[in-house]
Amino acid sequence: MTSINKHFFYDGFIGMTGIKVLETGQGSAKGEIEIQLNHLNPAGTVHGGVLFTLADSIGGLAASSDGRGCATISSEIHYLNPTMNSKRIVAHSVEIKHGKRMSTVETSITDNNGILIAKMIAVYHYLRKDGKAV
């Protein structure tokens, strides 16, 4: 994991979510959240915004595995199952298209029981070192 990714995941908003990066590879990444009370919605399951943030963040890490930064330009998430009696959720992201300017990434979120909770497809636009789009 590069120092840029360490800074990204442990500072600011993402740091508040408790996302932990488990592994990174070329075009892939894996991360988790240990579920806390502040992650739950009124129904007692993990809030959809937490799931979205986990998927988007780990997906962005997979998209930027070549060292370039990226920004999400579109995403679609499907919430498939509630997180009943779960202690943690794990996101696994795989780049399915690596283009010159954009990356398409598929992310699956499962709970500690192996149940598929959500699936996201997102497109990330690469950034230059000055932060502008490629």
| CATH classification at residue 14 | 3.10.129.10
Give residue-wise pLDDT tens across range 76-97: 999 999 998 899 999 999 999 9
The answer to whether residue 133 is domain-embedded is no
Residue 7 has pLDDT above 80, yes or no: no
* Number of domains forming the structure of the chain: 1
The answer to whether residue 41 is domain-embedded is yes
The answer to whether residue 119 is domain-embedded is yes
The answer to whether residue 134 is domain-embedded is no
The answer to whether residue 73 is domain-embedded is yes
Residue 5 has pLDDT above 60, yes or no: no
Residue 67 has pLDDT above 70, yes or no: yes
Determine the pLDDT at residue 4: 43
Determine the pLDDT at residue 12: 79
Distances (CA, A) of 95 to 18, 92, 101, 130: 23, 10, 14, 24
The answer to whether residue 132 is domain-embedded is no
Residue 1 has pLDDT above 60, yes or no: no
CA dist 102 and 127 (Å) reads 9
Determine the pLDDT at residue 15: 81
CA 11 and chain centroid, separation: 15
CA dihedral of 33, 35, 36, 40, whole degrees rounded to 10: 110
Q: What percent of the chain has pLDDT over 90?
A: 75
Mean pLDDT, residues 93-113 taken together: 97
Determine the pLDDT at residue 130: 75
The answer to whether residue 7 is domain-embedded is yes
Domain enclosing residue 75, as ranges: 3-127
Contact (CB, 8 A) for 28 and 93 = yes
